[in-house]
A = this chain, B = another copy of it.
Amino acid sequence: MPHTVELLAVGTELLLGNIVNTDAQMLSQGLSDLGLNVYYHTVVGDNPERLRQAVTVAKSRADIIITTGGLGPTCDDLTKVVLSEAFGKKLVFDERSADRIRAYFARLERPMSENNLQQAMLPEGCTVFDNDWGTAPACAFEADGKHVILLPGPPRECTALFRNRVVPYLRGLAEGIILSHTLKIFGMGESALEAMLRDRMNAMENPTLAPYAKEGECELRITAKAGTEAQAEALLAPVCEELCQLLGDKVYGMDVPNLESVVLDLLKKTDKTLGTAESCTGGLIAKRMTDLPGASQVFHGGIVSYVNQVKANVLGVPQDLLDQYGAVSAPVAQAMAQGARKALGTDLAVAVTGVAGPTPDDRGNEVGLVYVALAQEGGVQVETLHCGTIRARTRTVAASHALNMVRLALQGN
């Protein structure tokens, strides 16, 4: 199987900085999961001559070239024209793709212009990847000993086509298959995780382990190569189990998107409802819960109490607690959680109060000091965090910590 990949993004909007090349990140992650080495990303504008030069360079140093962008109807299909030419392929009209494009417009009840059918011109003999997420068909061809894959630029289309069409295609090129599981970890830094696993990581060959840091979280990717999916799974299972045992409840899920989705699933499974009371996170926890479709089944809502008056009047935090301990304190966090549980009528409520910064609060509490409280039947617990001095990071970490407390409480049930 060919092993080295170059990603070639085509789009002047990238060179102007109007958009960021998130396709490159998504593809790089996916390709690395397949055991392929991405050696270069190149970005070039909507300019045939410079694209031609970039293709020449890519051809000289990669086995697989994956392009993103330049497949739209308005830009003369720049990418297809240049890549086909560079590999000596003619563009031919693909009737099936044309039918799919016509059907796409009919489904949306939108008029189709003739140039949309230009998108059905494809390199002769290519493998067509049906695009169920837009109009531009993606495709792959082999020529001059190289594999060329053309994908549309819009991230939603690019991601869906890669996962559903390109990954199986690339697996088909390989002799065996490569399979990964990802453990999602909260409450442990990447360096601590790496120190704990270093000897194991160095000793392992198949599967392999790789830790990654995300904002305030870690991931541990376990990857196995084998002849079949079942064999790869058999290699992965005992390692995943051992790591889960080792890391205990720091692992909040395997192959799950994020903490909030785990919390949502647990709430549904245990038939519990959740509410929030947020001061320094200012709605971020509620926003993350409601990013998920279907949250309204179990997430009642939240109260953003950014000033004391709202803490007292809406959440019912006793004024003497606010006077005595200040808004950023464990007793107030507890009262906020209990008040939210009552006001929102939920089984659980989580509350956050802290100093997001950039300056300490009027009582001199340091930037990054945060209290998180969880109220449920039978009581309320509170935890103290020191999140550092970066405002956005403090808010993210505090929100994640709150969600993680909910997760642990629900798993304890």
A32 to B39: give the CA distance in the assembly, Å. 27
- Chain A stretch 373-394: residues in CB contact (< 8 A) with chain B: 390-392
Chain B contacts for A282, CB-based, 8 A: 286-287, 289-291, 295
Q: Are B291's CB and A304's CB within 8 A?
A: no
Contact A287 B296 (CB under 8 A): no
- By the criterion CB–CB under 8 Å, are A345 and B309 in contact? yes
Taking residues whose C-beta sits less than 8 angstroms from the other chain, chain A's interface range is: 35 or more
Q: Contacts of A47 on B, CB cut-off 8 Å?
A: 39
**How far is B53's CA from A188's CA once the two chains are assembled, in angstroms?**
38
Q: Which residues of B contact A25 (CB under 8 A)?
A: 14, 17, 19-21
Q: List, in ascending order, chain B residues with CB within 8 A of A213's CB.
A: 18
Instruction: Tell whether, in the assembled complex, residue B304 and residue A302 are in contact, meaning their CB atoms are under 8 Å apart.
Output: yes
The residue of chain B having its C-beta at the shortest distance from the C-beta of A361 within the complex is B296
Binary contact track A26-43/B, C-beta < 8 Å → 1, others 0: 111111100000111111
Is the pair A41, B42 in contact by a Cβ cutoff of 8 Å?
yes
- Complex CA–CA separation, A227 to B11 (angstroms): 32
- With A283-B286, A358-B293 as known contacts, state yes or no: A21 contacts B24, CB within 8 Å: yes
The answer to whether B20 touches A32, judged by C-beta atoms less than 8 angstroms apart, is: no
Interfacial chain B residues near A38, Cβ < 8 Å: 15-17
A interface list, Cβ under 8 A from B: 9, 14-22, 24-32, 38-45, 47, 50, 53-54, 57, 61, 156, 212-213, 275-276, 278, 280-287, 289-291, 293, 295-296, 299-307, 309-310, 313-314, 343-345, 356-359, 390-392, 395
Apart from A42-B43, A281-B290, A283-B290, what 8 extra A-B contacts exist at CB < 8 Å?
A16-B29, A17-B30, A17-B31, A20-B25, A39-B47, A282-B290, A299-B306, A302-B303
